[in-house]
């Protein structure tokens, strides 16, 4: 167990990254930060709107949480901010509990994330099976895309339901309200987002390389905003729905808090914290692979906790590590967390200077951008590769996916982890086995059939494998039973209890129990449970000595 001093250590990666920091590295970070800010601008607003919040909530989150996560985090290049994975969860909380309770749930999830970091639980997040991660990620992607159909087609739906079948029903009932202008803007915007870099790579022009550095989402946002504003198209915009965005950060706001509300928000809080930890640490691992670095998962969780505790009181929403912006940061040449801090400050300057222009941004374009984000989020190829995996993996992935889409992310993750645990227990128990050693392998046993049995055990002797000892207990020899535990790597308390029962059964029937190869963890638990003292008179260093003692 980690010492209290180690558990309370708080050392942001920024402190190490600034050693030997010079002007050249700053210029690289500055350039990367500006590039990431360009990518983050439309995404931050789109994520907030899709979550049932005003667009400035996403911008506030990208600015405040993005700065704190970079300044205090355990990764050198990770970018924090609002993420698509939170859309479904946040929308559900807003619809069921209201914005005030979203603030409380987000702040409480920040406390939980910080405690996870303090207690060194960052590495445990990696134990969540990949089938569960892929299942709920694909499910969230489907729900995000479905939630954007309303604005993509310009349907006149006053309030979108938060559940899968409710969304399908609302879309079907309002298909007659389709706005062809909005659908046209969405289609052109999506084509620009998807094809901008592809078209420029095929266009042999001196400016093609420079233009290709501009993200397709920004090109679509600028062009669609200009066309809609100049032509007067009947398309819903940020201004028509939200009245624009404020030209400044909000003041500190403290919602009414009660323990009764906190009790009802327990599951949403746990869901936000769990999803935030998974997303941030997965993103940090992707960044590590790109830059050849290794992040500190516990420091990252503490930074995520601080960001999620502070941001909601300034009009923000839940934040986590974001893969798309982190990858953009790395590819733009970032060398330290300074790039993430520059990205946040650049977004602040843009919001202060260009807030009035945001009122003309068409929601159809933001819907098209989110459609593209949803497509990139999903690991769709995994569905085509399912036939190459075993049945438990397929069942877990498909079940988590369907439960996420149809029911709830929390239920899906709980089921996925439960199914993965059962699968793991079954597989480990199937790997644990016992082999009978006879006279052909050990000549000293010749002529002692029925009198002496020698068994060699393999694997882990835990609650899923005690049937091996129970079978021996049902068919004890007349004189001596030898157990070779040299190849047993782990014994849990249930396994130790099964050995105790076997020892008692042998003593009752007058059979001598001889154990050999008791080392490492099995030896440790035998000492701690008192089993060692019971077995010590008949302990042998190896199976040959044990067999010789049994027949003597």
Is residue 58 included in any domain, yes or no? yes
**Same domain? 348 vs 444:** no
Final residue in a domain of this structure, among 327, 352, 386? 386
Q: Is the dihedral of CA 387, 388, 392, 393 positive or negative?
A: negative
Nearest to 461 by CA among 484, 440, 436, 437: 484
State how far the Cα of 110 lies from the Cα of 130, in Å rounded to an integer: 25
Indicate whether 365 pLDDT > 90: yes
State how far the Cα of 82 lies from the Cα of 246, in Å rounded to an integer: 18
> In the predicted model, what is the mean pLDDT of residues 59-87?
94
Task: Note whether 406 and 168 are within 8 A (CB).
Answer: no
> In the predicted model, what is the mean pLDDT of residues 509-514?
92
- What pLDDT score was predicted for residue 155? 93
Task: Note whether 476 and 505 are within 8 A (CB).
Answer: yes
In this prediction, residue 1 has a pLDDT band, given cuts at 50, 70 and 90, of: very low
> In the predicted model, what is the mean pLDDT of residues 367-375?
91
> In the predicted model, what is the mean pLDDT of residues 311-325?
92
In this prediction, residue 504 has a pLDDT band, given cuts at 50, 70 and 90, of: very high
- 505: domain CATH number is 3.30.750.24
- What pLDDT score was predicted for residue 204? 67
Final residue in a domain of this structure, among 354, 386, 418? 386
pTM for this predicted structure: 0.78
- What pLDDT score was predicted for residue 357? 84
Is residue 521 included in any domain, yes or no? yes
Helices and strands, number each (H, E), in the chain: 27, 7
Question: Which three-class secondary structure state does DSSP give residue 299?
Answer: helix
281/3: higher pLDDT:
281
Is residue 203 included in any domain, yes or no? yes
Is residue 484 included in any domain, yes or no? yes
For the record, the structure tokens of 24 come out as 């050249």
303/85: higher pLDDT:
303
- What pLDDT score was predicted for residue 205? 66
For the record, the structure tokens of 398 come out as 């498909």
**Same domain? 371 vs 502:** no
* CB atoms near residue 544 (< 10 Å): 14
Task: Note whether 394 and 270 are within 8 A (CB).
Answer: no
* CB atoms near residue 425 (< 10 Å): 14
Nearest to 262 by CA among 107, 370, 149, 116: 107
The number of domains in the chain is 2
Place of tokens 């036939």: 387
Residues 6+ apart with CB under 8 A from 392: 419, 423, 426
- Phi, psi angle pair for 490, to nearest 5°: -155, 140
In this prediction, residue 337 has a pLDDT band, given cuts at 50, 70 and 90, of: very high
**Same domain? 374 vs 453:** no
Is residue 353 included in any domain, yes or no? yes
Our CA dihedral for 461, 466, 471, 474, rounded to 10 degrees, sits at 120
State how far the Cα of 78 lies from the Cα of 303, in Å rounded to an integer: 12
Angle at 229 between CA 225 and CA 231, to 5 degrees: 120
- What pLDDT score was predicted for residue 54? 93
In this prediction, residue 210 has a pLDDT band, given cuts at 50, 70 and 90, of: low
513/257: higher pLDDT:
513
Angle at 460 between CA 424 and CA 394, to 5 degrees: 15
* CB atoms near residue 146 (< 10 Å): 17
Indicate whether 198 pLDDT > 70: yes
State how far the Cα of 302 lies from the Cα of 266, in Å rounded to an integer: 20
Task: Note whether 54 and 48 are within 8 A (CB).
Answer: yes
Is residue 141 included in any domain, yes or no? no
Sequence-distant contacts of 196-203: CB under 8 A, at least 24 apart: 196/220
**Same domain? 376 vs 495:** no
**Same domain? 344 vs 437:** no
Final residue in a domain of this structure, among 386, 420, 441? 386
In this prediction, residue 345 has a pLDDT band, given cuts at 50, 70 and 90, of: very high
**Same domain? 223 vs 342:** yes
> In the predicted model, what is the mean pLDDT of residues 116-133?
83
- What pLDDT score was predicted for residue 208? 65
Indicate whether 5 pLDDT > 50: no
Domain holding 446, by residue range, is 433-551
What does the pLDDT look like over 438-477, one tens digit per residue? 888 888 888 888 899 999 999 999 988 889 999 999 999 9
Task: Note whether 349 and 26 are within 8 A (CB).
Answer: no
- What pLDDT score was predicted for residue 8? 62
**Same domain? 465 vs 522:** yes
DSSP 178-202: --HHHHHHHHHHHHHHHHHHHHHHH
What does the pLDDT look like over 233-260, one tens digit per residue? 999 999 998 888 888 778 888 877 777 7
Percent of the chain whose pLDDT exceeds 90: 51
Highest mean pLDDT among 172-181, 274-283, 533-542: 172-181
Beginning with the edge strand found earlier in the chain, give each strand of the sheet holding 433-437 in spatial order.
Answer: 433-437, 452-461, 480-491, 512-516, 539-540
**Same domain? 456 vs 374:** no
> In the predicted model, what is the mean pLDDT of residues 259-278?
85
State how far the Cα of 221 lies from the Cα of 190, in Å rounded to an integer: 10
**Same domain? 66 vs 194:** yes
Indicate whether 376 pLDDT > 90: no
3/310: higher pLDDT:
310
* CB atoms near residue 496 (< 10 Å): 19
Residues pairing with 481 in the sheet:
453, 513
Is residue 348 included in any domain, yes or no? yes
Is residue 456 included in any domain, yes or no? yes
Nearest to 319 by CA among 136, 66, 46: 66
**Same domain? 478 vs 350:** no
> In the predicted model, what is the mean pLDDT of residues 122-145?
84
- What pLDDT score was predicted for residue 206? 67
Residues 6+ apart with CB under 8 A from 50: 84, 87, 91, 144, 147, 148, 370
**Same domain? 332 vs 477:** no
What average pLDDT does the chain have? 88
Indicate whether 58 pLDDT > 90: yes
**Same domain? 534 vs 446:** yes
Place of tokens 């920024």: 14
């Amino acid at each position: 167990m980690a010492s209290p001093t180690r558990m309370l250590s708080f050392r942001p990666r920024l402190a190490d990254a600034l050693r030997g920091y010079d002007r050249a590295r700053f210029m690289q970070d500055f350039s990367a930060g500006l590039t990431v800010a360009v990518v983050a601008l439309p995404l931050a607003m789109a994520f907030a709107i899709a979550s049932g919040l005003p667009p400035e909530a996403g911008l506030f989150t990208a600015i405040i949480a993005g700065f704190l996560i970079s300044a205090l985090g355990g990764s050198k290049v990770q970018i924090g901010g609002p993420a698509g994975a939170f859309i479904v969860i946040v929308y559900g909380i807003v619809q069921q509990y209201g914005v005030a309770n979203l603030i409380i749930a987000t702040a409480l999830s920040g406390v939980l994330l910080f405690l996870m970091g303090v207690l060194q639980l960052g590495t445990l997040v990696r134990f969540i099976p990949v089938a569960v991660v892929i299942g709920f990620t694909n499910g969230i992607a489907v729900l995000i895309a479905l939630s954007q159909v309303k604005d993509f087609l310009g349907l006149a739906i006053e309030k979108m339901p938060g559940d899968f079948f409710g969304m399908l029903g609302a879309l079907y009932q309002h298909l007659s309200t389709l706005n062809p202008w909005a659908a046209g803007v969405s289609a052109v915007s999506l084509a620009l987002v998807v094809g901008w870099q592809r078209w420029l790579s095929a266009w042999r022009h001196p400016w093609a390389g420079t233009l290709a550095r501009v993200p397709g989402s920004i090109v679509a946002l600028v062009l669609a905003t200009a066309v809609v504003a100049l032509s007067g198209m009947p398309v819903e915009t940020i201004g028509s729905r939200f009245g624009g965005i404020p030209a400044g950060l909000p003041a500190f706001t403290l919602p009414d808090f009660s323990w009764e509300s906190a009790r009802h928000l327990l599951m949403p809080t746990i869901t936000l914290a769990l999803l935030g930890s998974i997303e941030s640490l997965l993103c940090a691992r992707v960044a590590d692979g790109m830059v050849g670095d290794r992040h500190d998962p516990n420091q990252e969780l503490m930074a995520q906790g601080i960001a999620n505790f502070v941001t909601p009181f300034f009009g923000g929403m839940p934040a986590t590590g974001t893969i798309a912006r982190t990858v953009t940061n790395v590819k733009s040449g970032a060398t330290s967390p300074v790039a993430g801090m520059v990205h946040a400050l650049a977004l602040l300057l843009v919001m202060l200077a260009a807030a009035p222009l945001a009122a003309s941004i068409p929601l159809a374009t933001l819907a098209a951008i989110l459609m593209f984000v949803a497509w990139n989020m999903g690991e769709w190829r995994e569905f085509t590769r399912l036939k190459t995996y075993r049945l438990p993996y397929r069942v877990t992935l498909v079940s988590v996916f369907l439960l996420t889409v149809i029911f709830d992310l929390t239920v899906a993750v709980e089921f996925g982890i439960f199914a993965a645990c059962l699968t793991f227990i079954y597989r480990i128990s199937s790997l644990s086995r016992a082999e009978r050693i006879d006279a052909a392998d050990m000549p000293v046993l010749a002529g002692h059939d029925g009198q002496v049995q020698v068994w060699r055990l393999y694997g882990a002797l835990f609650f899923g494998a005690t049937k091996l000892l129970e079978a021996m207990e049902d068919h004890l020899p007349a004189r001596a039973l030898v157990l070779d535990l040299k190849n047993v790597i782990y014994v849990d308390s249930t396994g130790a209890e099964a050995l105790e029962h076997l020892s008692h059964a042998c003593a009752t029937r007058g059979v001598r129990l001889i154990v050999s190869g008791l080392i490492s963890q099995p030896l440790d638990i035998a000492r701690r449970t008192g089993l060692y003292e019971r077995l010590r008179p008949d302990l042998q260093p190896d199976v040959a000595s044990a067999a010789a003692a049994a027949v003597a």
